[in-house]
Structure 1
Protein backbone atom coordinates (compact mmCIF):
# COMPACT_ATOMS: atom_id res chain seq x y z
CA UNK A 1 0.00 0.00 0.00
CA UNK A 2 1.38 3.42 -0.98
CA UNK A 3 0.57 6.33 1.32
CA UNK A 4 1.45 9.94 0.59
CA UNK A 5 1.92 12.25 3.53
CA UNK A 6 1.45 15.71 2.08
CA UNK A 7 4.69 17.64 2.20
CA UNK A 8 6.72 14.61 3.29
CA UNK A 9 6.61 12.16 0.39
CA UNK A 10 5.34 8.66 -0.23
CA UNK A 11 5.74 5.59 1.94
CA UNK A 12 5.26 1.95 1.08
CA UNK A 13 3.60 0.28 4.06
CA UNK A 14 2.55 -3.34 4.51
CA UNK A 15 -1.13 -4.08 3.98
CA UNK A 16 -1.15 -5.71 7.42
CA UNK A 17 -0.96 -2.19 8.87
CA UNK A 18 -4.33 -1.24 7.38
CA UNK A 19 -6.41 -2.21 10.42
CA UNK A 20 -4.25 -0.21 12.83
CA UNK A 21 -4.32 2.83 10.55
CA UNK A 22 -8.07 2.49 10.12
CA UNK A 23 -8.59 2.51 13.91
CA UNK A 24 -6.59 5.72 14.23
CA UNK A 25 -8.41 7.23 11.24
CA UNK A 26 -11.80 6.43 12.79
CA UNK A 27 -10.71 8.05 16.07
CA UNK A 28 -9.70 11.17 14.15
CA UNK A 29 -13.13 11.33 12.46
CA UNK A 30 -14.80 11.05 15.86
CA UNK A 31 -12.55 13.70 17.46
CA UNK A 32 -13.02 16.13 14.57
CA UNK A 33 -16.79 15.67 14.85
CA UNK A 34 -16.57 16.50 18.55
CA UNK A 35 -14.27 19.46 17.79
CA UNK A 36 -11.69 18.04 20.21
CA UNK A 37 -8.67 19.78 18.73
CA UNK A 38 -6.04 18.64 21.24
CA UNK A 39 -6.80 14.93 20.88
CA UNK A 40 -7.33 15.31 17.10
CA UNK A 41 -3.78 16.68 16.78
CA UNK A 42 -2.41 13.83 18.91
CA UNK A 43 -4.12 11.20 16.75
CA UNK A 44 -3.11 12.81 13.45
CA UNK A 45 0.48 12.86 14.70
CA UNK A 46 0.13 9.19 15.71
CA UNK A 47 -1.22 8.29 12.25
CA UNK A 48 1.72 9.97 10.55
CA UNK A 49 4.25 8.42 12.94
CA UNK A 50 2.86 4.90 12.43
CA UNK A 51 3.15 5.32 8.66
CA UNK A 52 6.71 6.66 8.85
CA UNK A 53 7.96 4.12 11.37
CA UNK A 54 6.46 1.10 9.58
CA UNK A 55 6.86 2.24 5.99
CA UNK A 56 9.69 2.58 3.57
CA UNK A 57 9.99 6.06 2.09
CA UNK A 58 10.00 6.03 -1.69
CA UNK A 59 12.47 8.02 -3.72
CA UNK A 60 11.05 11.37 -4.78
CA UNK A 61 11.98 10.52 -8.37
CA UNK A 62 9.59 7.56 -8.30
CA UNK A 63 6.18 8.30 -9.71
CA UNK A 64 3.74 5.94 -8.06
CA UNK A 65 0.01 6.42 -7.55
CA UNK A 66 -0.87 6.74 -3.87
CA UNK A 67 -3.61 4.56 -2.40
CA UNK A 68 -4.16 7.02 0.44
CA UNK A 69 -3.23 10.67 0.90
CA UNK A 70 -2.71 11.84 4.47
CA UNK A 71 -2.84 15.56 5.21
CA UNK A 72 0.11 17.30 6.88
CA UNK A 73 0.47 17.31 10.65
CA UNK A 74 -0.28 21.04 10.83
CA UNK A 75 -3.77 20.65 9.30
CA UNK A 76 -6.18 22.89 11.20
CA UNK A 77 -9.29 21.48 12.84
CA UNK A 78 -11.40 23.53 10.43
CA UNK A 79 -9.61 22.01 7.42
CA UNK A 80 -9.88 18.56 9.00
CA UNK A 81 -13.67 18.90 9.08
CA UNK A 82 -13.61 18.80 5.27
CA UNK A 83 -11.35 15.73 5.07
CA UNK A 84 -12.13 13.52 8.06
CA UNK A 85 -15.82 12.85 7.45
CA UNK A 86 -17.86 9.69 7.02
CA UNK A 87 -15.46 6.77 7.05
CA UNK A 88 -12.36 9.01 6.99
CA UNK A 89 -9.32 8.54 4.79
CA UNK A 90 -9.37 4.74 4.86
CA UNK A 91 -12.42 2.84 3.79
CA UNK A 92 -13.13 -0.65 5.07
Structure 2
Protein backbone atom coordinates (compact mmCIF):
# COMPACT_ATOMS: atom_id res chain seq x y z
CA UNK A 1 0.00 0.00 0.00
CA UNK A 2 1.25 3.50 -0.81
CA UNK A 3 0.62 6.10 1.88
CA UNK A 4 1.19 9.79 1.20
CA UNK A 5 1.88 12.26 3.98
CA UNK A 6 0.94 15.61 2.47
CA UNK A 7 3.90 17.91 2.07
CA UNK A 8 6.34 15.10 2.74
CA UNK A 9 6.08 12.23 0.28
CA UNK A 10 4.94 8.66 -0.21
CA UNK A 11 5.77 5.53 1.76
CA UNK A 12 5.33 1.87 0.87
CA UNK A 13 3.61 0.23 3.83
CA UNK A 14 3.11 -3.52 4.17
CA UNK A 15 -0.46 -4.68 4.75
CA UNK A 16 0.72 -6.40 7.94
CA UNK A 17 1.46 -2.96 9.47
CA UNK A 18 -2.08 -1.65 8.96
CA UNK A 19 -3.41 -2.96 12.29
CA UNK A 20 -0.81 -0.91 14.19
CA UNK A 21 -1.53 2.16 12.06
CA UNK A 22 -5.28 1.70 12.62
CA UNK A 23 -4.66 1.79 16.38
CA UNK A 24 -2.79 5.07 15.98
CA UNK A 25 -5.51 6.38 13.68
CA UNK A 26 -8.09 5.55 16.34
CA UNK A 27 -6.27 7.82 18.79
CA UNK A 28 -6.40 10.66 16.24
CA UNK A 29 -10.11 10.09 15.70
CA UNK A 30 -10.87 10.05 19.45
CA UNK A 31 -8.91 13.28 19.99
CA UNK A 32 -10.74 15.01 17.12
CA UNK A 33 -14.13 13.86 18.42
CA UNK A 34 -13.25 15.14 21.91
CA UNK A 35 -11.89 18.42 20.55
CA UNK A 36 -8.71 17.81 22.56
CA UNK A 37 -6.03 19.81 20.73
CA UNK A 38 -3.08 18.52 22.81
CA UNK A 39 -4.12 14.87 22.44
CA UNK A 40 -4.77 15.46 18.74
CA UNK A 41 -1.30 16.88 18.10
CA UNK A 42 0.34 13.97 19.95
CA UNK A 43 -1.84 11.36 18.18
CA UNK A 44 -1.25 12.81 14.71
CA UNK A 45 2.51 12.95 15.34
CA UNK A 46 2.42 9.30 16.49
CA UNK A 47 0.44 8.23 13.41
CA UNK A 48 2.79 9.98 11.00
CA UNK A 49 5.84 8.64 12.86
CA UNK A 50 4.26 5.19 12.63
CA UNK A 51 4.00 5.48 8.85
CA UNK A 52 7.62 6.67 8.64
CA UNK A 53 8.74 3.79 10.86
CA UNK A 54 6.92 0.90 9.19
CA UNK A 55 7.05 2.36 5.69
CA UNK A 56 9.82 2.62 3.17
CA UNK A 57 10.12 5.85 1.16
CA UNK A 58 8.48 5.32 -2.21
CA UNK A 59 10.62 5.90 -5.31
CA UNK A 60 10.61 9.66 -5.95
CA UNK A 61 10.70 9.12 -9.71
CA UNK A 62 7.57 6.99 -9.63
CA UNK A 63 4.21 8.50 -10.51
CA UNK A 64 2.20 5.90 -8.61
CA UNK A 65 -1.10 6.99 -7.10
CA UNK A 66 -1.36 6.93 -3.30
CA UNK A 67 -3.76 4.45 -1.71
CA UNK A 68 -4.12 6.64 1.40
CA UNK A 69 -3.46 10.32 1.95
CA UNK A 70 -2.68 11.61 5.44
CA UNK A 71 -2.60 15.23 6.54
CA UNK A 72 0.68 17.05 7.07
CA UNK A 73 2.27 17.18 10.51
CA UNK A 74 1.18 20.80 10.95
CA UNK A 75 -2.52 20.14 10.19
CA UNK A 76 -4.95 21.48 12.73
CA UNK A 77 -7.83 19.65 14.30
CA UNK A 78 -10.44 21.30 12.03
CA UNK A 79 -8.58 20.26 8.88
CA UNK A 80 -8.36 16.67 10.03
CA UNK A 81 -12.01 16.63 11.12
CA UNK A 82 -12.89 17.44 7.48
CA UNK A 83 -10.75 14.52 6.25
CA UNK A 84 -12.09 11.90 8.64
CA UNK A 85 -14.44 9.38 7.15
CA UNK A 86 -16.56 6.77 8.87
CA UNK A 87 -13.43 4.64 9.28
CA UNK A 88 -10.96 7.36 10.27
CA UNK A 89 -8.04 8.39 8.13
CA UNK A 90 -7.00 4.77 7.55
CA UNK A 91 -9.88 2.48 6.58
CA UNK A 92 -10.01 -0.93 8.14
**Structure 1 length-normalised TM:** 0.92
Task: Tell me, in whole angstroms, the C-alpha distance in 2 between the residues paired with 1:33 and 1:86.
Answer: 12
Task: Tell me, in whole angstroms, the C-alpha distance in 2 between the residues paired with 1:77 and 1:54.
Answer: 24
Is contact 1:32–1:84 with CA below 8 Å preserved after alignment? no
1:12 is matched with: 12
Task: Tell me, in whole angstroms, the C-alpha distance in 1 between the residues paired with 2:67 and 2:85.
Answer: 18
Runs of 4+ in 1 over 2 A off after TM superposition: none
Provide structure 1 residue ranges, at least 5 long, that are not aligned to the other structure. none
Report the secondary structure of 1:69's partner residue: strand
Task: Tell me, in whole angstroms, the C-alpha distance in 1 between the residues paired with 2:14 and 2:57.
Answer: 12
RMSD value, Cα? 1.1
Q: CA deviation at 1:84?
A: 2.4
2:38 is matched with: 38
Is contact 2:2–2:58 with CA below 8 Å preserved after alignment? no
Report the secondary structure of 2:4's partner residue: strand
